[in-house]
Amino acid sequence: MSPTTANAADRKGVFIQTFGCQMNEYDSAKMLEQLRAENYAPVDSPARAHLILVNTCAIREKSEHKVYSLLGRLGGIKRSRPEVVIGVGGCVSQQRGAEILKRVESVDMVFGTDNLFELPAMLRAVAAGERVVRTDWHDRKRKVANFIPDFGSAFGAPDEVKAGLAITKGCNNFCTFCVVPYTRGREVSREPENILAEARAMLARGIREITLLGQNVNSYKAGETDFVGLLGHLNELEGLQRIRYTSPHPKDFDEKLAEAHAVLPKLCEHLHLPFQSGSDRILKAMRRNHKIATYLDKMTMIRQRVPSIAISTDIIVGFPGESEEDFEATLNVLRTVRFDHVYAFKFSPRSGTPAATLSDQVPERVRAERLARLFELNDSIVSERTSALIGSRQEVLSEGPHRRGCGAITGRTRGNKPVMVVDCNAERGDLVPVEIVSARKFSLVARDLRRGCR
Ligand code: SAH
Ligand code: SF4
Ligand code: F3S
């Protein structure tokens, strides 16, 4: 009997808890696709699951703590129902491997970031009584490889209008603070035809907005096709409304890509470009491969071409050796660029990375105080930028009814701001022309322009 015709009662429940970035969300979706083919169905609580998967993130110490505390709680479920299988995948698994099995008795299997497509075989090994660890890398020498073997187009979640699509995996940059090159391996790009085939499968199941994913997404290169070439191909796909990408690196953000934002209708007026620190001294110690002046020039370049572009960024405060003056330089970048959204983090030493062992670590108290000062400044900038949108006309991609009900729908602008459109009967996936009527701290309220002036 095929999984689609199996009686719902025959299916086993799987619960997947995902931590971390959009790449992890994407990987979790791939796990679910494989499991559906194995006659599993998603359930909304670990208490009702036969299989519990935890897809982990190692980016900061806190991310790793969250994983172990969840595994501790899941231990209770395993004690009351020993037949439950618990698997741990993702970046912590890649780094820690068998250590997780030793540390957490209730875990049955640990698999790395290159092993997620071996789930059915691993489950069979667990059923045969093994405790499984698979963290071996696939062919590490290939720069181009189609590392997603199956698109599972028949199984996508039916109520989604936007999704991520991996175009590269891994990273060769080795920024001194970052675990990703160790947890995701060397950078590999997928062939354009392979990416376009997955994009078409996504469109067939109702996806209207695709975010291209990669740890260093704009260094994509497969044969003659570079990142901008790939954007051009995607822009031609019928049924696709919007394209975004994350995360690009400033060193690979060039005029050609800025121009693509101006000329490709589906590429959104939205750019997430991390700068990490406003101090050249710290950027060098981070091994970011660019100076802050170059970053600021790139901001000017993109705003000249696309004046309405919304820009977001990532920042680390309290990197080892960061002085008050270095931190002030970071605040100055915020004052100069005036971002639409900022993700800022206290530096977190990660084992295996060069920055973790530097002698001039900034005390936790100073890191916390700098982060609070940064948010205080940035919150006022962001609310000014958000309020400036009042009265403007925007396009919202409907993601369906707003959770508050009352005939409103929820969605995002092309600049990626969340919007509640009141008194709107758009279907999920519709593009709605709106006028912004009011602004909250991080979101907007709008009226549906198709309903005329009232
Ligand atoms: N590839 C992306 C970043 C991915 S990680 C890039 O190069 O921009 C997402 C963000 O987490 C980073 O931009 C950085 O701001 C933050 N981050 C990474 N390692 C960190 C660490 N050790 N401590 C604190 N923040 C960190
Ligand atoms: Fe980490 Fe740097 Fe690679 Fe981004 S570019 S994933 S911060 S090593
Ligand atoms: Fe975390 Fe791994 Fe993503 S460390 S941020 S899940 S690449």
Same domain flag for 259 and 285: no
**Rounded Cα–Cα distance for residues 424 and 451 (Å):** 8
Same domain flag for 92 and 191: no
CATH of the domain at 97: 3.40.50.280
Residue 257 · residue 218 · CB < 8 Å: yes
- Confirm whether 88 is domain-assigned: yes
pLDDT by 10-residue block (mean), the chain, 454 residues: 56 97 96 92 95 98 97 96 97 98 97 96 97 90 88 63 96 98 96 96 94 97 98 98 98 97 98 98 97 98 98 98 98 98 98 97 98 97 95 97 90 97 95 97 92 58
What does the pLDDT read at residue 3? 46
What does the pLDDT read at residue 339? 98
> Which of these, 358, 350, 354, lies nearest to 95 by C-alpha position?
350
Same domain flag for 149 and 249: yes
347 in contact with ligand 1, CB cutoff 6 A: yes
CATH of the domain at 424: 2.40.50
- Confirm whether 284 is domain-assigned: yes
418 forms beta bridges with 412
Ligand 3 centroid from CA 35, angstroms: 22
User: Ligand 2 pocket check: which of 95, 180, 247, 287 to mutate, most ligand atoms within 8 Å of Cβ?
Assistant: 180
- Confirm whether 453 is domain-assigned: no
- Confirm whether 139 is domain-assigned: no
Same domain flag for 256 and 274: no
What does the pLDDT read at residue 1? 42
171 in contact with ligand 3, CB cutoff 6 A: no
CATH of the domain at 361: 3.30.750.200
Same domain flag for 275 and 256: no
What does the pLDDT read at residue 140? 74
User: Ligand 2 pocket check: which of 215, 219, 284 to mutate, most ligand atoms within 8 Å of Cβ?
Assistant: 215
Residue 265 · residue 231 · CB < 8 Å: no
67 in contact with ligand 3, CB cutoff 6 A: no
Same domain flag for 257 and 156: yes
168 in contact with ligand 3, CB cutoff 6 A: no
- Confirm whether 101 is domain-assigned: yes
> Among residues 266, 285, 314, which one ends one of the domains?
266
Residue bearing tokens 């009226």: 447
Same domain flag for 243 and 326: no
Residue 440 · residue 419 · CB < 8 Å: no
Same domain flag for 382 and 400: no
User: Ligand 1 pocket check: which of 172, 178, 311, 357 to mutate, most ligand atoms within 8 Å of Cβ?
Assistant: 178
20 in contact with ligand 3, CB cutoff 6 A: yes
> Among residues 102, 134, 166, which one ends one of the domains?
134
What does the pLDDT read at residue 105? 96
Same domain flag for 257 and 277: no
CATH of the domain at 154: 3.30.750.210
Same domain flag for 256 and 339: no
Same domain flag for 299 and 365: yes
- Confirm whether 209 is domain-assigned: yes
What does the pLDDT read at residue 2? 45
> Among residues 339, 356, 388, which one ends one of the domains?
388
**Rounded Cα–Cα distance for residues 203 and 160 (Å):** 11
What does the pLDDT read at residue 152? 61
Print the domain residue range for 174. 144-266
Same domain flag for 399 and 440: yes
- Confirm whether 3 is domain-assigned: no
Q: Strand 221-222 vs strand 225-226: parallel, antiparallel, or unpaired?
A: antiparallel
What does the pLDDT read at residue 454? 44
- Confirm whether 61 is domain-assigned: yes
Ligand 2 centroid from CA 189, angstroms: 16
Domain count across the chain: 4
